[in-house]
A and B are shown apart, each in its own frame.
Chain A
Amino acid sequence: MVKRVGLVGCGTMGGFHANCLRQIPDCELAGIYDIAEEKRNKFANELKVMPYGSYNEMLQDEGIDIIDICLPTPLHKEYVLKAAERKKNIFCEKPIARNLEDGKMMVESCKSAGVKFMVGHVLRYFYEYAKAKEVIDSGGLGKIGIVRATRGGAFPHASNEWYADSQMSGGLVLDMIIHDFDFLRWCFGDVQRVYAKGMINKGYKFIDYALVTLRFKSGVIAHVEGTWALPGGFRTRLEVAGSKGLLNFDSKDSMPINIEVKGTGGGGGVAVPESPLKESPYLLELRHFVDCVINNKEPDITGKDALKALEISLAALKSIETGKPIVI
């Protein structure tokens, strides 16, 4: 039976999701909604999909099985609670919420409504990260000592510059390196202690940067660098060092395609590297969720996982604010 999805939020991530949802058999992108009418209509026109006039209208549509929420973080709670009330299954972009109380309420509401709920910690579906976990789990690296991760690029600009408002976004510690925190927790279990330094709330406009040290209960030490201070591009790195081996990759070195085309007049072209894959990690995560809804399975990434990742991010933010290590 085909599951029909209502997509909320017509920003960058909404576009990604729409594209992926259309590639999933047994799934139909039924309609979209965004509070900004112009943006919503443009998106609907481009994707040839129906725009709903309001979120309530979307929720009242009995034909909608799944709500996919691609909104700024502080809006997650309201949209999730409303959808749960209408017994819709919910896929929600990360981070789950801006604070733990909201997050817990969202998880509880979905549970008592009996609907599926999954948060988009998509790194678990990135091929190089999933493969790294396989190697770690196989014991090929021996006992893990130090893990180093990097993620970042240029400062993101989105609707109303919400990323620049730390009260809304929590900066890159909450919005971006929560990906690494979730991945690391998936690999190494729960975190005991967090110490971090960062640029958030230091009065610099459109710059964020953080260096976070995690000490896991298992003893593993992880160092996570998050940057929104680069002039452009996007880069990720992972290094896992163990007693029997060392694994590392850098996204800039994993580009099987690099095209350089001469600019008009012969010179001044730009190089465009690419790492093409048949199925994007976003497609894999959304297809998994649709499969969970169809076959009544528990999603790979649980509400508890999303809350635990949030807890690490919030501890890092608190450490930056207080200058103290935070015990979880």
Chain B
Amino acid sequence: MVKLGIMSFAHMHAYGYAECMNRLDGVILAGIADDNTARGRKMARKFRTKFFNSYKALLDEDIDGVIITSENSRHREMVGMAASRKKHILCEKPLAISIKDAQAMIDICHANGVKLQTAFPCRFATPAIRAKSLINEGRLGKVLAINGTNHGKMPGGWFIDKKKAGGGAVMDHTVHVIDLMRWFLKQEVVEVYAEVDTRFHNIKTDDCGILTMEFNDGTFATLDPSWSRPAKSFPAWGDVTMEIVGIEGVLSLDIFNQKFSLFSEKEGKENWVNWGDNMDNGLVEDFVNMIEEEREPSITGYDGLKATEVTVAAYQSAKRKEPVRLPLE
């Protein structure tokens, strides 16, 4: 039996992970710590577990690992705390808001002999797994280009506070698809160009952009990470899509397209109801198995760092109005 704790419910993905832990065999949600006491207590009640009013108190418990779902900028501090108390870590994306932070997190986990996994649940989305196998089987021939999107609604809260989030839409929505691209192609990004702006909302962070990447084998890709979905009327939170172009054919991946339309009189709008497999289950299960089997994480801290690097480069490129070469100094 693997015992896990959750550090902070600042990121809404914590709900999904907590639900998975309660649903899955072989794992116990042993406690929740949150510096927002009211939120933490409420969540502990909701998920029928103990509340700890300090992270230290949670980490002093007999637990094997933690899931960190704090504000982006606090990942480094929380990973440091957990690693030094010898807990394995599943850290929410983006792993960090700077490459320096990401590297420090990797280093401290290594020094303490604990595993660091980056939470990229899209790798556990069944349609993404199928797409990867079709690509790696060679059905498309050599892949030449990818046109990707990770659209969303403007989340508000700390997500639009640069100090806490490290940026806006580009910080929030770049890493998922970059990670899928790296995973599919088994290549690294060598160059990033980006147009970034704030055009939809009256906020201080960016809310839209287009990134263009080149990989070391010459494959090129674009990604639209914009918070461009209208808050009240759009039928879903957003999307993750990739148009993958190969010599022999084209594959369109729309990860959340296992859905039906629900036209709600109560809400006065259409809603898309997803009926596909739950990707969070796969992520949490994989993390639990990693601890039990004492194996390396399937998505490493390095994977988290490389996705973060593209985000950082995108902001640099937008500012300089020219492409930025990777790896960054």
Interface residue ranges, A against B (CB under 8 Å): 143-146, 148, 150, 193, 195, 197, 199, 202, 204, 207, 209, 211, 213, 215, 219-221, 223, 225, 227, 229-231, 241-246, 323-325
In the complex, the answer to whether A325 meets B321 with C-beta atoms within 8 Å is yes
- Cα–Cα, bound, A244→B191 (Å): 34
A146 neighbours in B (Cβ, 8 Å)? 199, 208, 210, 224, 226, 228
Closest 8 pairs between A and B when the two form their complex, measured CB to CB: A145-B199, A241-B228, A197-B220, A211-B222, A213-B210, A145-B200, A145-B208, A243-B200
B245: contacting residue among A144, A215, A227, A243, CB under 8 A: A227
B199: contacting residue among A219, A223, A225, CB under 8 A: A219
| 15 further A-B pairs in the complex, CB-CB below 8 A; given A145-B208, A242-B200, A245-B230 | A145-B197, A145-B200, A146-B199, A146-B208, A199-B144, A204-B247, A211-B145, A213-B195, A221-B208, A221-B209, A223-B224, A229-B245, A246-B228, A324-B323, A325-B321
A246 neighbours in B (Cβ, 8 Å)? 228-230, 233-234
Residue B289, interface by CB 8 Å: no
Q: B190-226 CB contact bits vs A (8 Å, 1 = yes)?
A: 0101010101110000011110101000101110101
Known: A199-B144, A213-B195, A241-B228. A324 touches B214 (CB 8 A): no
B226: contacting residue among A150, A220, A241, CB under 8 A: A241
Q: How many residues of B contact A (CB 8 A)?
A: 37
In the complex, the answer to whether A211 meets B220 with C-beta atoms within 8 Å is yes
A195 neighbours in B (Cβ, 8 Å)? 193, 195, 212, 323
Residue B26, interface by CB 8 Å: no
- Cα–Cα, bound, A225→B221 (Å): 11
- A141, closest chain B residue (CB): B230
Residue B300, interface by CB 8 Å: no
B2 neighbours in A (Cβ, 8 Å)? none
A-B contacts, 9 listed (Cβ < 8 Å): A193-B321, A209-B144, A209-B145, A211-B220, A211-B222, A225-B222, A229-B250, A231-B250, A241-B228
Residue B249, interface by CB 8 Å: yes
Residue B147, interface by CB 8 Å: yes
- B146 CB to nearest A CB, Å: 9
B322: contacting residue among A209, A227, A241, A324, CB under 8 A: A324
- Cα–Cα, bound, A171→B321 (Å): 26
Known: A146-B199, A195-B212, A324-B323. A211 touches B250 (CB 8 A): no
- A202, closest chain B residue (CB): B218
- A239, closest chain B residue (CB): B228
- Cα–Cα, bound, A146→B229 (Å): 11
In the complex, the answer to whether A243 meets B250 with C-beta atoms within 8 Å is no
B224: contacting residue among A148, A243, A323, CB under 8 A: A148
A221: contacting residue among B210, B230, B243, B247, CB under 8 A: B210
Known: A145-B228, A146-B199, A193-B321. A209 touches B210 (CB 8 A): no
In the complex, the answer to whether A211 meets B212 with C-beta atoms within 8 Å is yes
- A151 CB to nearest B CB, Å: 12
- Cα–Cα, bound, A143→B230 (Å): 12
- Cα–Cα, bound, A29→B64 (Å): 82
- A242, closest chain B residue (CB): B200
A209 neighbours in B (Cβ, 8 Å)? 144-145, 245
B220 neighbours in A (Cβ, 8 Å)? 197, 211
- Cα–Cα, bound, A215→B230 (Å): 22
In the complex, the answer to whether A145 meets B207 with C-beta atoms within 8 Å is yes
Known: A146-B199, A211-B147. A227 touches B222 (CB 8 A): no
- Cα–Cα, bound, A197→B245 (Å): 13
- Cα–Cα, bound, A98→B323 (Å): 28
In the complex, the answer to whether B147 meets A221 with C-beta atoms within 8 Å is no
In the complex, the answer to whether A215 meets B199 with C-beta atoms within 8 Å is no
- Cα–Cα, bound, A220→B210 (Å): 11
- Cα–Cα, bound, A223→B145 (Å): 15
B214 neighbours in A (Cβ, 8 Å)? 197
In the complex, the answer to whether B222 meets A223 with C-beta atoms within 8 Å is yes
- B198, closest chain A residue (CB): A145
- B320 CB to nearest A CB, Å: 10
B249 neighbours in A (Cβ, 8 Å)? 231
Known: A211-B222, A221-B208, A325-B193. A229 touches B322 (CB 8 A): no
- Cα–Cα, bound, A246→B145 (Å): 26
A323 neighbours in B (Cβ, 8 Å)? 191, 323
B145: contacting residue among A150, A197, A244, A245, CB under 8 A: A197
- Cα–Cα, bound, A199→B50 (Å): 57
- B140, closest chain A residue (CB): A229
A199 neighbours in B (Cβ, 8 Å)? 144-145
A227 neighbours in B (Cβ, 8 Å)? 245, 250
